[in-house]
Amino acid sequence: MNSEPRVTVWNEYRHEQSHPAVAAVYPQGIHAAIAEGLRRNGLTHVRTATLDEPEQGLSAAVLAETDVLTWWGHMAHGDVTDATVQRVRERVWDGMGLIVLHSGHYSKIFKALMGTPCELYWREADDHERIWVVDPGHPIAAGLPNHIEVGPEEMYGEHFDVPAPDHLVFISWFSGGEVFRSGCCYTRGSGKIFYFRPGHETYPTYFHADVRRVIANAARWAAPAGGPPPTPRPSDRPVPPLEPMSGY
Ligand code: ZN
């Protein structure tokens, strides 16, 4: 495969069109800010897609050309159809990377892939968020300082009801006192998944240089590794032996 992953930045794109306070922060939409951050970090194959486009922006053709999908959703989780969820889930199983951002923790696709409630505690009170790197050798931490001062953000607190991550890269601290596992890596099928916490819609978090670096690092990490073609999946069917068999 091409060494530069093809990234599709998906956003439900509803808050920006219905809440002036959000539009003031993200006049071109959250997806545009995320895409700009990826491009500034050297990713050259970046496109955006939104919920109100045909097939919810995620047709089979779009997904087939996507190595890594980033997902931002909040107020319209319920509008994402089961058919869309199934298309995305199948692509993850077949090797597409998925980066789930902030309130995407409660999206249908993340819950479907995790198999747990994915619930958490939250507070909108301008807590200060500081993200600590707890796995400095992980590729997603490349080039970062040992902590990121995000600034004012929504608080997410434990317990975060997800499976224990395969790798935990970040822990957030909030000035109200809570901590949160804010950078969680998983594998489902052949696909890599990264959950990254910050990015409430009323804060300019996706313009933060280190937050942008994390998402770009995650896109490179989550891209398919170029191993044997994962399709067709085994599909639970019998296969002939590779070696001649006799004597049984
Ligand atoms: Zn939020």
CATH number at residue 15: 3.40.50.880
Q: Helices 209-222 and 30-40: crossing angle, nearest 10°?
A: 80
Q: Does the residue 81 lie in any domain?
A: yes
For residue 90, being part of any structural domain is answered with yes
Strands (E), 175-244: 179-188, 191-196
What pLDDT shows up at residue 225? 86
Q: Does the structure show a pLDDT above 80 at 92? A: yes
Q: Is residue 77 included in any domain, yes or no?
A: yes
Q: Domain for residue 165, yes or no?
A: no
Residues 98 and 92: their CA atoms lie apart, in Å, by: 7
- CA 228–ligand 1 middle distance (angstroms): 38
- What pLDDT, on the 0 to 100 scale, is given for residue 245? 87
21 CB contacts (<8 Å, ≥6 apart)?
202
* pLDDT over threshold 70, residue 17: yes
Give residue 124 CA to ligand 1 midpoint distance, Å: 8
pLDDT score, position 182: 98
How are the residues of the chain apportioned to helix, strand and coil, as percentages rounded to the nearest 5? Answer: 30, 30, 40
DSSP assignment of 107-140, as one string?
Answer: SHHHHHHH-S----EEEEEEEEEEEEES-TTSGG
Lowest mean pLDDT among 71-75, 94-98, 239-243: 239-243
Cα 65 to middle of ligand 1, angstroms: 29
Q: What angle do CA 240, 245, 248 make, to 5 degrees?
A: 115
Average pLDDT over residues 77-94: 97
- Residue 52 is assigned to a structural domain of this protein: yes
Ligand 1 center to residue 156 CA distance, Å?
A: 9
Domain count, the chain: 1
Residue type, 87: R
For residue 173, give both structure tokens: 């601290």
Strand, coil or helix: 86: helix
CA of 190 to the centre of ligand 1 (A): 29
Lowest-confidence pick of 8-17, 109-118, 223-232? 223-232
> What pLDDT does 1 receive?
44
Q: Is the pLDDT of residue 90 over 50?
A: yes
What does the pLDDT look like over 116-152, one tens digit per residue? Answer: 999 999 999 999 999 999 999 999 999 999 999 999 9
**How large a percentage of the chain has pLDDT more than 90?**
89
Cα torsion 39, 43, 46, 51: sign: negative
Across 96-115, average pLDDT: 98
Ligand 1 centre to CA of 19 (Å) is 14
Q: Ligand 1 mean position to 233 CA, how many Å?
A: 36
Q: What domain range is 216 assigned to?
A: 7-117+182-222
CA of 209 to the centre of ligand 1 (A): 20
CA 247–ligand 1 middle distance (angstroms) = 64
Judge whether 150 lies within some domain: no
Give the DSSP H/E element, type plus range, for residue 154.
Answer: strand 147-157
User: Mean pLDDT across the chain, nearest whole number?
Assistant: 95
Q: How confident is the model at residue 226 (pLDDT cuts 50, 70, 90)?
A: confident
pLDDT digits (tens, 9 = 90+) for 148-206: 999 999 999 999 999 999 999 999 999 999 999 999 999 999 999 999 999 999 999 99
242 located within any domain: no
Give which of 184, 160, 182 is closest to 173, Cα–Cα: 182
Over range 67-81, report the average pLDDT: 98
* pLDDT value for 247: 67
Asked whether residue 134 is domain-assigned, the answer is no
Going from the C-alpha of 142 to that of each of 133, 137, 215, 244, the distances in angstroms are: 10, 8, 11, 48
Q: What type of residue is 202?
A: T
103 C-alpha vs ligand 1 centroid, how far in Å?
5
